[in-house]
Structure 1
Amino acid sequence: MTIVLGVLCGALLGVVVLFARDRARLLERLSDADTHIAQLESDLDAALRPPPPANTAERAVRRVIRTASKVRSHGITGLIQSTVGELQTWASDAERADILNMAASDGTVTLFFSDIEDSTPLNDRLGDTTWVKVLAAHDRVLRNRIERYRGQVVKTAGDGFMVAFRDTEAACRAALGIQRDLPRDLTLRRHGPILVRIGIHTGQVVARDGDYFGRNVAMAARVADLAHGGEILASDAVREALDDDTALTLVERDTVELKGLTGEHVVWQILPPAS
């Protein structure tokens, strides 16, 4: 009887050992399969994901494509209502730091808002493919002048730009340069006229996470809303911030009320120097 029990125990032990060995092999095969599947998923994701933009122009086109749909529902005023999360998709950490550094120690900064006049009918007339090319050319012209005068793009939405300048006169000269360069661009000439309206205001703002907030941000946007295509309008605060010996030409427009802002406001048109 003892012998029989010993034989049975030995056989059972052998079965357990074989089962454990087979289980280990099965788990190893499953692990290899999971690894293989994960690698396939990674390769598929890499194949479907668009390559990173190679240069500034390509990044600009990507931005245009992603936001062109906002043009129909967001004008200049809509631009100031963008969330911080949206902003972070445009600006790197370094860019956000540069934006915050544009304001003086007391929070004063010159803000520039712009957009294309009648952009929705233009989009409809040109079609989406051509419209994207037009926006890319428009984007290139604006960014070249903004960079030349040391401005920082705070955020964009479709054809709308919000830009910060440390120097008020630099903001005005950048705007004049933009209005001068737009008709010279071959793409814009071919599909134009592409008329941009610009508004500029100087004042104290609240800076946070690479964005600006406060009454003066709204003021700058409202001034831009008053402009017609091809015009540059500025608030009275801009005129006061300019040096007395500036070569810029400012012509007083009507005193106006600005939606959502109390009181009446003097608005000035900035004109190119006489030739």
Structure 2
Amino acid sequence: MESREAPPDTPVPFGGTVTIFFSDIRGFTDYTEQFGDEAAYRILREHNAIVRKEIEAFGGVVVKTQGDSFMVAFKTARGAIQCAIAIQRAITESDENQAGPRIAIGIGINTGEPIQEGGDYFGSMVNLTARICASAGPGQILVAETTRHVAGRIEAVEYVDRGLHELKGFPEAKRLCEVIWRPPDAGAQAGGEAAAAKGEEEAAALTAAVQRALAVLNRVIALTHLDDPAFGPLIECQAKAGEFRLLLSRTLTERRGTSAKQVQEAILPFESLLALVTERDKLDEERWAQLDAGVARAFGRPLVTAVARGRLSAGAPVKPEPAPAAKKPEPAPALAPPRASAVQTQLAPLPPDPRVAGVRWWAGAYAAWSQWKPSGLGWAHALRGELAKHPYLLSVHVRASVDYDDGQLAGGYFLLVEHIENQSPRFTRTVVDRAVDAAGGALEPRVLGPKLYELLVDGGRLRATYPAFVRDIVGTAIPNPGVWADGGVVEHEDATVVVTRPTPAIGETQERAERLTEPKDRAAERHFDVTLQPLTTRFFYVKPGELKTPRDLEIRLAADGQPSDRAWYITLRTSLLVRSEPKLLPTTGVSLPGLGREHAGAWVALFNPEPDEIVTYELTVTVRQPRAPMPAASPFARR
């Protein structure tokens, strides 16, 4: 049979000079999660109609699409730039005529001589274009230097040098330019005066929106964490606020085609964060849930958790209208009940109830919580201190905690009590009475204990919230002080060491190390089988030893033989610094290339959120030499 593969000496099919254009909706995934598939599909259809119309008008050829992204080829650089401007203008106008949140797009353009085959384009020039597009912000058009020089001067268009950019996959930084476009001369259009008036209104609205947004960003940047001045999630949020503030400061002087509506939508997550911080004791559950979801999507769950615990401060609050109180001091007593209510949420915990003294796991956890709560010691510091003493705390079920360390381990579960109290305020003040009632007045530990446990599960909504509880602990305790692990893999240049425990006992201090030196053994999948009790977590790690060449790391999880996502994973920048916040492991697993170069290892936390079921997990870890690079190709798969 005749081979269809080209012989090795076949020339690479380079073509002529082409300008490649990539576009991508910004925030489309978050929009889909927030507003649903139907709304997202409507947005996608409108976006695609606009983009295809302008592409056709400017002579572009759609090479590929993938979801909300387009790859387009143009014969001229000027045509690609003018098409991008037309698209951004059309989308801005469409946004202004629509109610509800909208989504902007980013566009990247590059000019060169890619490999051409069968109507497709490949090579580093195409890959660079995709990276440029990824660097473009909402409503932004970025072009490579080559495109700027080839296109030359275009009427009503300015190029702003945005400096050198480090782009993934390219060893040298690339200089990018932003295309700043101005609307056509209103005087040349029919109804010029009306257009000018509308332009003035839009400019005034944009100015007001920018000023309001800057005030919000300044307040976000002034937020502080009461326990940890270097609290990572807040610092990252404030870094985003600083970048956005800089972008807004340029908006009024550089004509970007930005609308007031786009500014209002972009500032919404920051406003929501401020509302959570400043109105924490006033928000009802429905409003809190709305703000909580938006802030978590934008800045991560740990930041929301810090707000919920009251650990973020906005400084001195703005005083409400003082006139009525100043003129009529006598109404002050009428204002006392709300103040008393606010103070009451932080009343000292009730003393331990003797009726549940025999339920030792609860008595120990509550006693530790009631001592910590009024101490002023930050939750993060208390957590780290507890895990430094008992690193295997989460691996032991709360009701079995009295069987460890002479019962002292139960005290560590004050962390769970605090989590439940955050889910159901005042839970601890009524739980014993409710448990006694549920037990029909019986005080025997064997009767009362299960009732208390049921109330903990229900009050804390632990089936749904236990994963978030674990995530908060993972993000705080790893890598320092660390947690007890069932096992792990240490990758050296000349060997792979698989670490396990010699016995299944939780808290086992001895390790058993298997050193593998054969390439086929080192590249094989490592399977760690572990059985988790209800509401417990087990930990595994992968880290580099004496490693010179980076490795590719793959992790996946199965529960009772089926793919599972019941695990958090976190990567490290160094052995002492976290590289990323905890992420939920996809059911398909995760690939983490660059072990030893891009990151210094990973931790995986397997959790069982079921309050009454035992689950068996199989964690699969594979560490391999990096695969040989494939021939450069378009980053878009053919549709």
Return the TM-score normalized by structure 2. 0.26
Partner of 2:94: 185
Choose from 175, 179, 203 the match for 1:266: 175
Name the CA distance, whole Å, in 2 between partners of 1:265 and 1:210: 27
Instruction: Give the partner amino acid of 1:265.
Output: K
Which segment drifts farther, 132-141 or 182-191?
182-191
Query: Are 1:176 and 2:93 counterparts?
Result: no
Partner of 1:127: 36
Whether the 8 Å contact between 2:28 and 2:40 is mirrored in structure 1 is no
Name the CA distance, whole Å, in 1 between partners of 2:137 and 2:119: 29
| Structure number with higher helix proportion | 1
How far is 1:244 from its partner? 4.4
Whether the 8 Å contact between 2:15 and 2:115 is mirrored in structure 1 is no
Whether the 8 Å contact between 2:105 and 2:139 is mirrored in structure 1 is yes
Whether the 8 Å contact between 1:134 and 1:188 is mirrored in structure 2 is no
Whether the 8 Å contact between 1:200 and 1:234 is mirrored in structure 2 is yes
Q: Provide Cα deviations, 1:125-165, integer angstroms capped at 9, x if missing partner.
A: 12111211110000000001100000011111110110110
Instruction: Give the partner amino acid of 1:136.
Output: R
Name the CA distance, whole Å, in 2 between partners of 1:245 and 1:128: 40
- Map 1:228-247; keep pairs closer than 5 Å: 228-244=137-153, 247=156
Count matched residues: 171
In structure 2, runs of 5+ residues without a counterpart are 1-13, 186-639
Name the CA distance, whole Å, in 2 between partners of 1:203 and 1:253: 20
Query: Are 1:204 and 2:113 counterparts?
Result: yes
Partner of 2:388: none
Name the CA distance, whole Å, in 1 between partners of 2:56 and 2:96: 21
Instruction: Give the partner amino acid of 1:114.
Output: S
Instruction: Give the partner amino acid of 2:55.
Output: I
- Map 1:136-151; keep pairs closer than 5 Å: 136-151=45-60
Structure 1's 245 and 161: CA in aligned 2 closer, same or farther, altered over 3 A?
closer
RMSD: 1.9
Whether the 8 Å contact between 2:109 and 2:132 is mirrored in structure 1 is yes
Residue aligned with 1:194, SS: coil
Partner of 2:67: 158
Name the CA distance, whole Å, in 2 between partners of 1:159 and 1:253: 26
Instruction: Give the partner amino acid of 1:118.
Output: G
Instruction: Give the partner amino acid of 1:211.
Output: D
Whether the 8 Å contact between 2:84 and 2:141 is mirrored in structure 1 is yes
Partner of 1:257: 166
Partner of 2:359: none
Residue aligned with 2:138, SS: coil
How far is 1:247 from its partner? 4.6
Residue aligned with 2:137, SS: coil
Name the CA distance, whole Å, in 2 between partners of 1:217 and 1:245: 24
Structure 1's 186 and 238: CA in aligned 2 closer, same or farther, altered over 3 A?
closer
Residue aligned with 2:99, SS: helix
Whether the 8 Å contact between 1:107 and 1:206 is mirrored in structure 2 is no
How far is 1:246 from its partner? 5.2
- Map 1:96-135; keep pairs closer than 5 Å: 106-135=15-44
Whether the 8 Å contact between 1:200 and 1:224 is mirrored in structure 2 is yes
Instruction: Give the partner amino acid of 2:167.
Output: L
Name the CA distance, whole Å, in 2 between partners of 1:145 and 1:112: 13
Name the CA distance, whole Å, in 2 between partners of 1:254 and 1:194: 26
Structure 1's 183 and 192: CA in aligned 2 closer, same or farther, altered over 3 A?
farther
In structure 1, runs of 5+ residues without a counterpart are 1-104
Structure number with greater CO (CA < 8 Å, separation at least 6) is 1
How far is 1:187 from its partner? 9.8
Name the CA distance, whole Å, in 2 between partners of 1:191 and 1:113: 26
Whether the 8 Å contact between 2:76 and 2:151 is mirrored in structure 1 is no
Which segment drifts farther, 157-166 or 238-247?
238-247
Return the TM-score normalized by structure 1. 0.59
> What is the identity percentage for the equivalent residue pairs of Structure 1 and Structure 2?
35
Choose from 103, 124, 129 the match for 1:220: 129
Q: Provide Cα deviations, 1:212-241, integer angstroms capped at 9, x if missing partner.
A: 000100010011111111000000011110
Whether the 8 Å contact between 1:188 and 1:194 is mirrored in structure 2 is no
Name the CA distance, whole Å, in 2 between partners of 1:194 and 1:186: 8
